[in-house]
Amino acid sequence: MNIKLVQKIKLDGNSCRKSARVLKDLKELNLLDKIDEIIAADERQQSDSEGFDLARKYNVSSAPFFIVENDEGINKVYTAYYRFMKDVFNISVSESDEISEMMAQNPELDYI
């Protein structure tokens, strides 16, 4: 298995808030070394940014996201961190974190 993490770098050169949180979580869980490649989707150079190229290739509009290549060479893209953690590492995140991520990715949703 090969795991790529595409993180967003903002115009000021810093990781976006969500990318920074995901990297921090992976480090705290001692899983950062399981990520084979960290690729930047750099807002400062979108035309030649590998991360933006991958986002276009896989039709992804938010970062961070993960590309997991299985042993047969088939890629699966994860745009939801909680789903990635569950499927790849068999780790569940809290329900409130899962809901927060869903709400952030789908601003048209609202609580009833």
3-state secondary structure the chain: CEEEEEEEECCCCCECHHHHHHHHHHHHCCCHHHCCEEEEEEHHHHHHCHHHHHHHHCCCCCCCEEEEECCCCCEEEECCHHHHHHHHHCCCCCHHHHHHHHHHHCCCCCCC
Domain contains 112:
no
Overall residue count recorded for the chain in this entry: 112
Tell me the pLDDT tens digit for each residue of 76-86.
999 999 999 99
Residue 111 covered by a domain: no
Whether 70 is covered by a domain: the verdict is yes
Residue 106: Cβ within 10 Å count = 9
pLDDT > 90: percent of the chain: 77
Q: Which domain holds residue 15?
A: 2-105
Q: Residue 85: which CATH number?
A: 3.40.30
Residue 65 lies in a domain: yes
Q: pTM value? A: 0.83
In a domain, 110, yes or no: no
Pick from 57, 75, 73, 55: which is nearest to 65 by CA? Answer: 55
Mean pLDDT taken over the chain: 88
pLDDT at residue 109, as a whole number: 46
Report pLDDT for 47: 86
Q: What confidence score (pLDDT) does residue 77 get?
A: 98
Give residue-wise pLDDT tens across range 13-57: 999 999 999 999 999 999 999 999 999 999 999 888 999 999 999
pLDDT (0 to 100) of residue 108? 53
Q: Would you state the torsion angle of the CA atoms of residues 84, 104, 99, 53, taken in this order, to the nearest 10 degrees?
A: -10
Residue 7 has pLDDT above 50, yes or no: yes
Quote the number of domains for the chain. 1
Residue 56 lies in a domain: yes
Percentage of the residues of the chain whose pLDDT score is greater than 70: 82
